[in-house]
């Protein structure tokens, strides 16, 4: 086994737990650099498994599967935060270089743990989580103060893309929502006077080098990311500096190697609130594929392989537009969208995920628009939205 400080050179196998679109784009980036990829995912039709050199079709904690991955791979990572931490620990125990380790990933797997972590650096960073209350038992409902309502009740685990959360305005709505969630551990988070939301994407190498991408501004629809714009049009320079420094502090405090995304809320008062941590490349970082010197996926490969991180410099302004299954189905029957019309604009860069079945609200791909000015890419994005008949 190579020393933990030695680089893992092209030709080696890299492992990824999870076979979704993030794993697919990671695989493409790794292959472009000369690496081979082994995907562990239980779905025989996983997007990443379809393009990797090897797909181990098994559960994430299957001991035989983990041993097979460990025999093959010099390093391993995860493409989504809900992979069991024990799988990462098992791979590390088998001698695999795991980046990030389970400790950093597990913080983001549970909103209660995440809120506690974010609060630990509130004084030094000047940014902390929204006011909230942990609800684990019925007695906790009596501790809800009026200033926490209206709020958003979120399940402690397994929530993403708007799932596992509901807005509540009264104590009665809160109790009903908690019962509907099955009386499981939740966090009640005060609804903030939000101006806009941003993402800070940072990467840390094995040698503690930390680099940050430009902060991106996000718009969500129905809890799912709709567009990401870079440079962030509403963000003040001093706010961007504060957010980047906070994200850098987080990745170091987690002792995290790899790409990490931290979502922040900018309030109408100008205050900044930390929303959540995503321990992986992120949907809001897809613009880096066409707008930055180094994409977030190549950066993840570099961090795992213990080679120097790449430049995060923004080459051109960009907008990322998510493409959902709705775009195949909005005529009442399944019809392939008019990609030829979209791609007639040279600003448009199409990325589809290889998913065979479009479904409502299912992420099927994205389009990165890049151009010489922010106005150019905004116009190109608006035109594509019209062509694809995406509801605003």
Predicted confidence band of residue 108 (pLDDT cuts 50, 70, 90): confident
Q: How confident is the model at residue 356 (pLDDT cuts 50, 70, 90)?
A: confident
The CATH code for residues 194-387 is 3.30.470.20
Q: Is the pLDDT of residue 357 over 80?
A: yes
Across the range 369-374, mean pLDDT stands at 97
Give the residue ranges of DSSP H helices in the chain.
21-32, 63-72, 85-93, 102-109, 111-120, 122-125, 171-180, 237-253, 288-291, 296-304, 326-329, 339-342, 374-387
Q: What is the DSSP letter of 316?
A: S
Give every CB contact of residue 221 below 8 A, 6+ residues apart in sequence. Answer: 391
Q: Across the strands, what pairs with 36?
A: 13
Res 1 pLDDT > 50: no
How many whole angstroms separate alpha carbon 380 and alpha carbon 346?
9
CA atoms within 13 A on the CB side of 362: 15
131-190 CATH fold: Dna Ligase; domain 1 (3.30.1490)
The answer to whether the beta carbons of residues 288 and 296 sit under 8 Å apart is yes
What is the rounded average pLDDT of the residues 120-138?
84
What residues does each domain of the chain span?
A: 13-98, 131-190, 194-387
C-alpha distance across the termini of the chain, in Å = 53
In this prediction, residue 162 has a pLDDT band, given cuts at 50, 70 and 90, of low
111 or 158, higher pLDDT:
111
Q: Tell me: the pLDDT tens digits for 328-355?
A: 998 777 899 999 999 999 999 999 999 9
Contacts of residue 173, defined as CB under 8 A and 6 or more positions apart, other chains included, come to none
CA angle (67 as vertex; 63, 68 as ends), nearest 5: 115
- Residues ≥6 apart with Cβ < 8 Å to 109: 81, 82, 85, 157
- Percent of the chain scored above 90 by pLDDT? 85
**pLDDT per residue as tens digits for the range 55-92:** 999 999 999 999 999 999 999 999 988 889 899 999 99
For residue 130, the model assigns a pLDDT of: 87
Other beta carbons within 10 angstroms of residue 288's beta carbon come to: 29
Range from 1-5, 38-42, 165-169, 354-358 carrying the lowest mean pLDDT:
1-5
Other C-beta atoms lying within 10 Å of the C-beta of residue 332:
6
Residue 164: its pLDDT value, please?
81
Question: Given a cut of 70, is residue 124 above it in pLDDT?
Answer: no
Domains 13-98 and 194-387 share a fold: no
13-98 maps to which CATH number? Answer: 3.40.50.20
Radius of gyration of the chain (CA): 21
pLDDT at 165: 86
pLDDT tens for residues 31-52?
Answer: 999 999 999 999 999 999 999 9
Q: CA of 322: how far to CAs of 27, 193, 217, 326, in Å?
A: 20, 26, 14, 11
Task: Give the tens place of pLDDT for each residue, 221-249.
Answer: 988 999 999 999 999 999 999 999 999 99
Average pLDDT, the chain: 94
pLDDT of residue 161: 57
The whole-number pLDDT of residue 4 equals: 64
Q: What DSSP letter does each residue of 262-283 carry, written as one string?
A: EEEEEETTS-EEEEEEESS--G
Q: Identify the bridge partners of residue 151 per DSSP, sorted by sequence position.
A: 168, 190
Q: What is the pLDDT of residue 333?
A: 76
Over residues 5-39, the pLDDT tens digits come to 799 999 999 999 999 999 999 999 999 999 999 99
H or E element that contains 217: strand 216-221
Global pTM exceeds 0.85: yes
Give the phi and the psi of residue 161 in degrees, each rounded to 5.
50, 40
- Please compute the mean of the pLDDT values over residues 194-223 and round it to a whole number: 96
290-305 residue pLDDT tens? 999 999 999 999 999 9
What's the mean pLDDT in 153-166? Answer: 78
**Whole-number pLDDT of residue 120:** 82
Beta bridge partners of 154: 165, 187
Digit-coded pLDDT (tens) for 258-299: 999 999 999 999 999 999 999 999 999 999 999 999 999 999
């Amino acid at each position: 086994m190579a020393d933990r400080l030695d680089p893992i050179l092209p030709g080696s196998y890299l492992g990824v737990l999870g076979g979704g679109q993030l794993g697919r784009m990671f695989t493409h980036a790794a292959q472009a650099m000369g690496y081979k990829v082994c995907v562990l995912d239980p779905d025989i039709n996983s997007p990443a498994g379809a393009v990797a050199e090897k797909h181990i079709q098994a559960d994430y904690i299957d001991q035989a599967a983990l041993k097979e991955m460990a025999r093959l791979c010099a390093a391993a990572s995860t493409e989504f935060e809900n992979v069991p931490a024990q799988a990462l620990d098992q791979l590390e125990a088998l001698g695999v270089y795991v980046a990030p380790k389970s400790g950093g990933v597990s913080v983001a797997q549970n909103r209660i743990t995440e809120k506690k972590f974010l609060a630990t650096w509130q004084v030094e960073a000047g940014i902390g989580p929204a006011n909230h209350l942990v609800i684990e038992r019925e007695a906790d409902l009596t501790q809800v103060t009026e200033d926490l309502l209206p709020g958003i009740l979120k399940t402690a685990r397994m929530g993403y893309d708007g799932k596992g959360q509901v807005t509540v305005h009264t104590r009665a709505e809160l109790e009903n929502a908690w019962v509907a969630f099955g009386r499981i551990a939740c966090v009640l988070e005060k609804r903030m006077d939000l101006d806009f939301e941003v993402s800070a994407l940072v990467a840390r190498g094995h040698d503690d080098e930390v680099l940050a991408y430009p902060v991106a501004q996000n718009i969500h629809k129905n809890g799912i990311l709709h567009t990401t714009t870079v440079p962030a049009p509403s963000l003040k320079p001093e706010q961007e500096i504060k957010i980047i420094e906070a994200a850098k502090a987080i990745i170091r405090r987690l002792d995290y190697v790899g790409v990490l995304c931290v979502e922040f809320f900018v309030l109408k008062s100008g205050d900044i609130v930390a929303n959540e941590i995503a321990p992986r490349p992120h949907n809001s970082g897809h613009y880096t594929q066409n707008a930055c010197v180094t994409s977030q996926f190549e950066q993840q490969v570099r961090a795992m392989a213990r080679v120097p991180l790449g430049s995060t410099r923004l080459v051109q302004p960009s907008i990322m537009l998510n493409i959902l299954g709705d775009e195949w189905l909005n005529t009442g029957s399944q019809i392939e969208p008019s990609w030829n019309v979209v791609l007639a604009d040279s600003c448009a860069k199409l990325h589809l995920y290889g998913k065979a079945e479009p479904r409502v609200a299912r992420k099927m791909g994205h389009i990165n628009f890049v151009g010489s000015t922010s106005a150019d890419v905004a116009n190109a994005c608006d035109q594509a939205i019209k062509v694809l008949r995406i509801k605003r």
